[in-house]
Structure 1
Amino acid sequence: MKIKKLEIESFRGIPNKQTFSFENKSGKPISTLIFGDNGSGKSSIIDALEFNLQGKIERSDSIKNQFRASVLSLKNHIKKGAKTKSYLENNSCNERNINVSFDEDKQKLKFEKSNKSLHPNFQIAPIALRRNDIISYSTTPVQNKQILFWKFIYNSSSNDNENSIDNVLIQNLDTERIELKSKRRIEFENLAKSLKTEINNIPKINTNEYEAFVKNKIRKGLTNKQYNSLKQSGKLRGVNEKAVSISSYISQITKEIRDIEAKIKNVKSINSSSKESKKNEVKKFLSQASKHLTIAFKSISTVDFIKDIEVLIGELTEVSFEIKVTLQNGKTVSPSSVFSEANLDLLILLLYTSIIKESNKYGQSKLLILDDVLQSVDSTIRLNFLDYLVKEYSDWQLIISAHDRLWLNQIRSIFRRNSHVFKEIEIYRWNFSTGPQIFELGNDNNNNALQIALNTKNTQIIASQAGLFLETICNKLSMNLNTSIQRKIEDKYTMGDLWPGIKKHFKKTELRELTEEIDKLLHIRNLLGAHYNEWSISLSTHEVLSFAKNILEFYEKTFCPNCQSWLRRNNFCECKRLELK
Structure 2
Amino acid sequence: MASTNAKCANEVSQLRVSKVTAESFRGVPGRIEVSFVHVNGRPSSALIFGDNGSGKSSIVDAVEWACQKAVGRNKSLKGNAAPSLANLAAGGAKCAVEVELSNGSSVRRWATFNQDGTQIFGGKILRDFARIPMSLKRADILRFLDTPAIERGSIFIDHALGEDISTVPSLTTDQQAVIDERHEAKRLMREAAIDLAKLIGVEPPPRDANDIAEMIAVDVYKRIPAVDRIKVSLPRAVQEKVQEVDRRKRQVYELNQRAKRLRLPSSANTERLLAMQSLLSGVGDWLTSAFLSVTGAPHIRRVEPVFGELSDVSLEIGVTLEGRVATTPQKVFSEGYQDLIALLYFLALARAAGQQGQARVLILDDVLQSVDANIRVALMELVVREFKEWQLLVTVHDRLWRTQLRDIFQRTGHPLVEIEIRNWNFGDGPNLSSAGGLDPADSLWSALESSDPFVVCGIAGRLLEQICDRLSWTIPISVKRKRGDAYTLADMWPGIMKELKRTSSAELLVKVDTWAHLRNAAGAHYNEWAEGITWAEAEAFGYAVLELYEAVHCESCKQWVTRAGSKRFACRCSAVRIESVS
> Taking structure 2 as the reference length, what is the TM-score of the superposition?
0.67
User: Can you give the 5+ residue segments of structure 2 that lack an aligned partner in the other structure?
Assistant: 1-14, 171-264
Q: What displacement does 1:318 show?
A: 2.6
Q: Contact 1:309–1:324 (CA<8 Å) still a contact in 2?
A: yes
* CA deviations over 1:406-442 (Å, ceiling 9, x no partner): 3333323333333323232232322222222334333
CA–CA distance in structure 2, aligned partners of residues 7 and 447 of structure 1: 30
Following superposition, the deviation at residue 140 of structure 1 comes to 1.9
- Give the whole-Å Cα distance in 1 for the aligned partners of 2:89 and 2:523: 37
1:86 aligns with 2:99: yes
CA distance in 2, matches of 1:408, 1:293: 26
Q: Distance in 1 between matches of 2:26 and 2:152?
A: 31
Describe the superposition over 1:367-411 as per-residue Cα deviations: whole angstroms up to 9, x where unpaired.
111112122222233333222222211111112222223333332
Query: Residue in 1 aligned with 2:17?
Result: 3
Return the offset for 1:529.
7.8
Amino acid at match of 1:334: T
Q: Distance in 2 between matches of 1:94 and 1:117?
A: 10
In the alignment, does 2:578 pair up with 1:580? yes
Cα distance in structure 2, aligned partners of 1:514 and 1:304: 46
Secondary structure of 1:292's counterpart equals helix
Say if 2:127 is the partner of 1:120: yes
Mapped partners of 1:301, 1:395: distance in 2: 24
Q: Classify the secondary structure of the residue corresponding to 2:157.
A: helix
User: CA 1:512–1:343 in structure 2 vs 1: closer, same or farther (change >3 Å)?
Assistant: closer
Gaps of 5+ in 1: 104-109, 168-270
Q: Aligned ranges for residues 559-574 of structure 1 at < 5 Å?
A: 559-560=553-554, 561-562=556-557, 564-568=559-563, 570-573=567-570
Alpha-carbon distance in 2 for matches of 1:550, 1:121 = 52
CA gap of 1:283–1:493, structure 2 versus 1, over 3 A, is closer
- How far residue 343 of structure 1 moved from its aligned partner, in angstroms, is 2.1
Q: What corresponds to 2:283 in structure 1?
A: 289
The C-alpha deviation readout for 1:174-216, integer Å capped at 9, x for no partner, is xxxxxxxxxxxxxxxxxxxxxxxxxxxxxxxxxxxxxxxxxxx
The two structures, once aligned, show a CA RMSD in angstroms of 4.1
Q: Please name the residue that 2:195 is paired with.
A: none
Deviations 1:324-354 (A, max 9, x none): 2233333322232222222222222222111
In the alignment, the residues of structure 1 paired with residue 515 and residue 415 of structure 2 have an alpha-carbon distance, to the nearest angstrom, of: 34
Alignment match, 1:15: 29
Task: Return the alpha-carbon distance in structure 2 between the equivalents of residues 374 and 307 of structure 1.
Answer: 25
Residues 1:377 and 2:371 are matched in the alignment? yes
The 8 Å contact of residues 135 and 363 in structure 2, kept in 1 or not, is answered as yes
Partner amino acid, structure 2, of 1:96: R
In structure 2, do the counterparts of structure 1 residues 580 and 58 end up closer, same or farther at CA, with 3 Å as the change threshold? same
Distance 2:425 2:67 in 1: 27
Over 3 Å counting, the alpha-carbon distance change for 1:438 and 1:544 in structure 2 is farther
CA distance 1:440–1:314, change in 2 (3 Å):
same
Partner of 2:137 in structure 1? 130
Matches of 1:548 and 1:70, distance apart in 2:
51
Aligned-partner residue type, residue 14 of structure 1: V
Structure 2 counterparts to residues 155-194 of structure 1, below 5 A: 155=162, 160-163=163-166
- C-alpha separation in 2, matches of 1:128 and 1:527: 48
Q: 1:505 to 1:274 in 2, by over 3 A?
A: closer
Question: Which residue in the other structure is 1:446 paired with?
Answer: 439
Task: Find the structure with the greater CA-based Rg.
Answer: 1
Correspondences of 1:66-465 after superposition (within 5 Å) = 70-79=84-93, 81-103=94-116, 110-115=117-122, 117-155=124-162, 160-163=163-166, 276-442=270-436, 446-447=439-440, 449-450=442-443, 453=446, 463=456
Higher mean C-alpha displacement, 83-92 vs 290-299: 290-299
CA offsets 1:492-537 (integer angstroms, 9 cap, x no match)? 345577567756765654445655666778799789988999x999
After superposition, the Cα gap between the structure-2 partners of 1:166 and 1:380, relative to the gap in structure 1 and judged at 3 Å, is farther
Alignment of 1:484-499 (within 5 A): 486=480, 491-495=485-489
Match of residue 38, structure 1, among 52, 58, 72: 52
In structure 1, distance between residues paired with 2:472 and 2:28: 40
Post-superposition CA distance 1:475-497 (Å, at most 9, x none): 32344557796576953345577
Whole-angstrom CA distance in 2 between matches of 1:152 and 1:537: 68
Q: 1:26 pairs with 40, 47, 58, which one? A: 40
Shift of the 487–350 alpha-carbon distance from structure 1 to 2, 3 Å rule, reads: same
Is the CA contact 1:478–1:487 (under 8 Å) kept in the aligned structure 2? no
Aligned to 2:258: none
Identity of aligned residues (%): 35
Residues 308 and 91 from structure 1, CA distance in 2 versus in 1: closer, same or farther, beyond 3 angstroms? Answer: same
CA distance in 2, matches of 1:518, 1:7: 47
For residue 45 of structure 1, what is the amino acid of its counterpart? I
Any idea what SS the aligned residue of 2:49 has?
A: strand
Q: Distance in 2 between matches of 1:571 and 1:376?
A: 39
C-alpha distance 450-573 of structure 1, shift in aligned 2 (>3 A)? same
1:96 deviation in Å? Answer: 1.8
d(CA) in 1 for partners of 2:283 and 2:131?
14
Check 1:8–1:539 CA distance in 2 against 1; reply closer, same or farther (3 A cut).
Answer: farther
Which amino acid is the alignment partner of residue 149 of structure 2?
A: V
Q: 1:367 to 1:508 in 2, by over 3 A?
A: same
Q: TM-score, normalised by structure 1?
A: 0.67
CA contact (8 A) 1:32 1:398 kept: yes
**CA distance, structure 2, for counterparts of residue 486 and residue 433 of structure 1:** 51
Contact 2:571 2:577 in 1 (8 A): no
Deviation at 1:572, TM superposition (A): 0.5
1:557–1:74 CA distance, 2 compared to 1 (3 A): same
SS at match of 1:368: strand
Distance 1:429-1:543 versus aligned 2 partners, 3 A rule = farther
Distance 1:431 1:92 in 2: 33
The Cα shift of 1:43 comes to 1.6
Residues 380 and 408, structure 2, Cα contact 8 Å, conserved in 1: yes
Contact 2:36 2:44 in 1 (8 A): yes
Q: 1:303 to 1:272 in 2, by over 3 A?
A: same
Flag the 1:118–1:74 CA change in 2: closer, same or farther, 3 A: same
